[in-house]
Amino acid sequence: MTGPLLEITDLTIRFGGLVAVDGLDLRVNAGEIVGLIGPNGAGKTTVFNCISRFYQPDRGTIRFKGRDITSSRSHEIIRFGIARTFQNVELCRSMTALENLLVGQHVAMRGGVIRDGLRLPGVGADEARATQRADEMLELLGLTRDRDRVVSTLPFGLQKLVELGRALVSDPALLLLDEPTAGADKQEIQGLADLIRRMRDRFDLSVLVVEHDMSFVMGLCDRLSVLDFGRRIAEGAPADVRNDPAVIEAYLGEPEVEVTEV
């Protein structure tokens, strides 16, 4: 495959009078870890929600592996190879960690209510395969002990790990991470950066990460894209972006009024 893995051109979306994302161009190449950063309310999560097809952009195209996915449905995205996590963790709260990871393999398994209800041949084998895969992932993330615990009873940090595992177990080509450091302390943040890099190498991933913790993305990302008020104000290697006057201005002059992040 030639060309970028993910290519966003001229992405624009408005909520009422507010332009949340304004003419954004963004690329993620195979194997890259790209950071999408910016002050609160800059529109970062909105970009994710456009890629995940929860929001319909007013203008612009999103291409993945060369294919236009701008009008795909939200549940098709994971099939194309894009998996994501959420800022505030969206797990199936009544399920165990293991079950969440089985949900992560939803599209990889054959469905059908009659097939399930009659336990047609193959159902048991499918389940066993998926369970084995989920167990491997749990082990990799150090979650084996919490395998059978209901996720709503797990501490937030572990919930975030389960969510990461659920995304990874779907075998994505591109992983979208929304604020992975939220709620984590300094030490955990360092571990998280290592973990993401390890996962990238192991699963041959590309990663697009939304963050506002600058030091975290500086250490982690190959390339950064900086958003402010929905517009891209800088792009490049972390070191260059750090010294960009527009970026400094955006961060220092961060407005007091917080625009609601949608």
Binding footprint of another protein on the chain (CB under 8 A): 45, 49, 52, 54-55, 73-79, 83-84, 86, 90-96, 98-99, 102-104, 106-107, 109-113, 116-119, 123-124, 126-127, 131, 148-150, 153, 166, 170, 262
User: Which lies closer to another protein via its Cβ, residue 49 or residue 70?
Assistant: 49
User: Which lies closer to another protein via its Cβ, residue 19 or residue 123?
Assistant: 123
Rg (CA), the chain: 19
CA distance 100 to 155: 16
**CB of residue 111 to another protein, shortest distance in Å:** 5
CA distance 90 to 100: 10
Strand-pair category, 18-28 with 231-236: unpaired
**CB of residue 114 to another protein, shortest distance in Å:** 9
User: Which lies closer to another protein via its Cβ, residue 107 or residue 140?
Assistant: 107
47 three-class SS: helix
**Residues, the chain:** 262
* Nearest CA-CA partner of 204 in 237, 171, 178, 176: 171
User: Which lies closer to another protein via its Cβ, residue 130 or residue 241?
Assistant: 130
User: Which lies closer to another protein via its Cβ, residue 15 or residue 219?
Assistant: 15
**CB of residue 238 to another protein, shortest distance in Å:** 28
Sheet holding 206-211, edge to edge: 82-84, 174-178, 206-211, 33-37, 223-228, 231-236
User: Which lies closer to another protein via its Cβ, residue 149 or residue 197?
Assistant: 149
Q: Which amino acid is at 236?
A: G
**CB of residue 203 to another protein, shortest distance in Å:** 17
State residue 45 phi and psi, 5-degree precision: -65, -30
**CB of residue 244 to another protein, shortest distance in Å:** 30
